[in-house]
Structure 1
């Protein structure tokens, strides 16, 4: 997510008996640091505990003029708690950051307005009042905890932006799997995401209405953008594009943000069409989150990761566990965003499934975060792990010879593989490049999701 989409309310505090210029300067400097993160700031002058409550009334009035995603309570010095609570109660349903600033060192002596007296008098009060907040503090001579603030702000913004997002699901429970199921009401209540179904017949009927001109336009584009290792059947490509255009119409009409579909028992078994190229087009052309096999919780995880990171949130599947690493890949596709170089495809067939087009691109390597959301009834948990993705030569048994090198990574985990395996919750995990564990944990806290 781009930080310029984050709108933060900001209020500084300090006791009326403290040096007011000191408090003002501290609050302005802190606000400028928040601005350096790229946030849109909605602010007001610093607030004291003046007997008439003039500052409190002014701050509430100023802040209510605009909407924002979270509220930053910046404590520059000691402040009686009632002056803070009088404002926070007006925004009590909003995520907050309780931020204690620090003093300075002058001529070898610490000079402080006692900001941590103010924050420590508030932390448990915030907790007891049921606020969703993060407590951070400065240390003299050290940088401000801006990364922690940024992480929580991303989580707060994603928590809001996910409300009313939609997963489009063609068919139900591919291969009669269990761990791809979901519980609709608790998912809506907890995270705000709907899963909506459409039938394979609807897609099929729409695909028959596409014009040759529409298909030709996409065909020309993929021939330019994809590297075909071997020539592909033109009728197969045109059929795949026709299916993609049908999915596109359904997604646009229903405002879907993600799509999963009945893969093995649907597209392959009924239509005799492996859907890898359809997934590629949905992901790359429409920027939708895509995952096979009616994996509802995988789709939900993708949306969470995408809203937090701004990345495509690609899925990977487990193939092997090693002592210090796991082998993850896909037997169908990866979005172009995670490809190192040009997207590469080839005609190939697997087992009894008829030939199709499979993505054989080389994935980007480096630091990454893996996650999957799961539920037991209405209790939700997210399994989060970080690691380093590296390339490895391997093949999946069952493909036509020579077997394709599938998009994959050997991921060297930052935690013991045995510990990771103890909590693994599905065959599909979602990745994002970089370490996003902090913002994922902050999101889970805001949504009352357990972290494992």
Structure 2
């Protein structure tokens, strides 16, 4: 289930075929490929196919035309045998960009299959391109099969995600909630390898913004929220209003700084210093915006969210491990979930945990079905992505100890893993993993290949 952003991915495209191959065989098939790629969602900056003319004029023309455009990925379409030098002459000026080395296939004429030796061209190119340090995905079209669009589009979306990550900004209210270690980050290696900037600010800024919010605005939105959500019981006076004020403060800060993701000090911050849980504010933030959020100053969680969000167009919600079982894990949250992953109505249960004041606990039912969970981690300056495909099922009846009675059943799913549970547990990289619905492993693996991130 992918809900990709409406903006089309910009890709460069250049086809190749030997000078002695009839030109119409090359042109016709490259034109067909371009039409399919456009239909699949690419915005192509294309140049006419290139042959190995001795003077290299066609290669020079292609470079000049492609250089006039900005694109995230270059599709190198091999439509027949082509000497390697002709291809390298075109792609060398763009070696900083990810590429798809795409080999086409021949066609059937009556009882005979006709080929232009496409894969002679790609196989002559693959190793030299790898040895020279090009970042690319090698995709071949099998004889008698259609163009492998899914594989090509996955890499193109991954390349576009890598570009977007370079300009991403994550807002971080406070620092190192609960003195956790697994939520920390190294700013230099993160910027060098993945790209996002993490910008810290004090919770005091949110409090100051809350103090300046007009009471009439708060009242109006609080009344709307009371009608919008399903409340299991009546909240205490002021609980909804506190959540609304915090939401408005966070949103103003997010919009002022242009944050693409947001995290915050939860237990040692908002709950301790402001006296209430931020769950209602975060639920409302997800009702009104598309920003990625995760609590507890979880830097790697926030970066993973951006990766998943850019790749799939989904909200990339966080879930937390509560229990493992033989075939998977019980995952849920003790605070909020975005409306996008809710099955039915957003349901609120005003409640308090431990010594913290009452908050608007989100107890909505979560969607089920095929899903992918992932988390980015690092050791030194080496980054790893842990991925597991699973099926989200309705959970067993359960509760977390510590909630004021009657204890709620938190938003959760039983995730039945497609792979080995014990092997997953041995490599687990934190309490939070990011969920997306559908099988998104190829997208994540393609992005990791571009960024130089190891997949485990």
Question: Shared fold by TM > 0.5?
Answer: yes
Question: Any residues of structure 2 matched to 1:20-419 within 5 Å, and which?
Answer: 20-392=23-395, 393-419=397-423
Distance in 2 of aligned mates of 1:385 and 1:331: 22
The Cα shift of 1:106 comes to 2.4
Q: Secondary structure at the match of 2:352?
A: strand
Distance in 2 of aligned mates of 1:365 and 1:322: 18
Q: Is contact 2:239–2:358 with CA below 8 Å preserved after alignment?
A: no
The Cα shift of 1:27 comes to 1.1
Distance in 1 of aligned mates of 2:227 and 2:313: 26
What 5-or-longer segments of structure 1 have no aligned partner?
none
The Cα shift of 1:268 comes to 1.2
Distance in 2 of aligned mates of 1:3 and 1:344: 30
Q: 1:445 and 2:449 equivalent? A: yes
Normalised by the length of structure 2, the TM-score is 0.97
Provide Cα deviations, 1:260-312, integer angstroms capped at 9, x if missing partner: 11111111112211110121122221221111111111111111111111111
Moved over 4 A (4+): none
The Cα shift of 1:13 comes to 0.6
Q: Which residue of 2 aligns with 1:434?
A: 438
Q: Secondary structure at the match of 1:350?
A: coil
Pick closer, same or farther for the CA change 1:289–1:4 going to 2, 3 Å: closer
Distance in 2 of aligned mates of 1:100 and 1:194: 38
Distance in 2 of aligned mates of 1:237 and 1:198: 25
Distance in 2 of aligned mates of 1:55 and 1:217: 65
Distance in 2 of aligned mates of 1:315 and 1:103: 46
The Cα shift of 1:429 comes to 0.3
Q: Is contact 1:4–1:38 with CA below 8 Å preserved after alignment?
A: no
Q: Is contact 1:3–1:39 with CA below 8 Å preserved after alignment?
A: no
Q: Please provide the CA RMSD for this pair.
A: 1.2
Q: Is contact 1:264–1:293 with CA below 8 Å preserved after alignment?
A: yes
Provide Cα deviations, 1:397-433, integer angstroms capped at 9, x if missing partner: 2212221111100000010111111110000000011
Distance in 1 of aligned mates of 2:455 and 2:431: 18
The Cα shift of 1:220 comes to 2.9
Distance in 1 of aligned mates of 2:67 and 2:209: 47
Pick closer, same or farther for the CA change 1:3–1:283 going to 2, 3 Å: closer
Q: Is contact 1:3–1:38 with CA below 8 Å preserved after alignment?
A: no
Q: Is contact 2:322–2:330 with CA below 8 Å preserved after alignment?
A: yes
The Cα shift of 1:4 comes to 4.7
